[in-house]
Amino acid sequence: MYTPPHFTQADPAELQRILRAHPLGTIVRSGPDGLDADHIPFEFDPASGPFGKLSAHVARANPLWQTTPTGTPVLVIFRGAEAYVSPNWYPSKHEAHRQVPTWNYEVVHAHGRLAILDDERFVRGLLARLTRHHEATEPKPWKMGDSAPDFINDLLGKIVGIEVEITSIAGKSKLSQNKEARDRINAADTLVAKGHEELGEVMRKAG
């Protein structure tokens, strides 16, 4: 990933924020038919290993776990907040007319090694944790116990667990840090007004 110094995101707290806020990762690996990718919601455990660990599950019919053995190097990409930025949002543009359109975004690349865990206890625990986390804001959170045990047991047999022990992690936060403060702030305010609150808020703090 090309990352100019002013866009480099190396703060562990910020990297973890992006991972937690945008858990749908793209796992990229090289298999027998070349490069392939899957889009999977991950659980992130920052306390496991020097850089943390990612856990997820895939359908048993997914060839990922059958063609990508334990120990295979993989890349998991997490896309954070992103949006188009118009040069018209920069006050300096209207004075010197020396600005162009761009796209601001946050992204995290987690490199690691895949582990296949075809283990019902692992998958059941993972699903319970994911459910508790993502249902927490619901008025009446759904839980696995709300469904008939035989129904859940049948579904558990149709999925396989995976883990990625992260061996290196890199982040990029392209938030108009290379612009004048007034340009960055006005662009951030415009994004918030257009409904891109998350990106606008992180841009406001990027100076």
Looking at residue 120, which CATH number applies to its domain? 2.30.110.10
Residue 146 sits in which domain range? 5-80+105-177
Domain annotation covers residue 87: no
Better pLDDT: 85 or 98: 85
Q: What is the pLDDT of residue 99?
A: 87
Total structural domains in the chain? 1
Domain annotation covers residue 197: no
pLDDT tens sequence across 58-76 = 999 999 999 999 999 999 9
Q: What is the pLDDT of residue 96?
A: 78
Q: What is the pLDDT of residue 31?
A: 83
Q: What is the pLDDT of residue 55?
A: 98
Domain annotation covers residue 25: yes
Nearest in space to 80 (alpha carbons), one of 17, 8, 5: 17
Domain annotation covers residue 15: yes
Q: Residue 9 and residue 32: Cα distance in Å, rounded?
A: 34
Strands 43-45 and 53-59 turn out to be: antiparallel
Residue 95 has pLDDT above 90, yes or no: no
pLDDT tens sequence across 147-199 = 999 999 999 999 999 999 999 999 999 999 999 999 999 999 999 999 999 99
Q: What is the pLDDT of residue 94?
A: 80
Domain annotation covers residue 32: yes
Nearest in space to 123 (alpha carbons), one of 166, 147, 151, 158: 158
Query: Which contiguous run of DSSP H or E holds residue 174?
Result: strand 159-174
What tokens appear for 94 in the block? 């209207």
Domain annotation covers residue 28: yes
CA-based diameter of the chain, in Å?
Answer: 68
Q: Residues of the chain with pLDDT > 90: what percent? A: 93
Instruction: Give the pTM.
Output: 0.93
Residues whose CB falls within 8 Å of the CB of residue 18, separated by 6 or more in sequence, listed in order:
9, 78, 80, 106, 107, 108, 171
Q: What is the pLDDT of residue 89?
A: 96
Residue 133 has pLDDT above 90, yes or no: yes
pLDDT tens sequence across 97-112 = 788 999 999 999 999 9
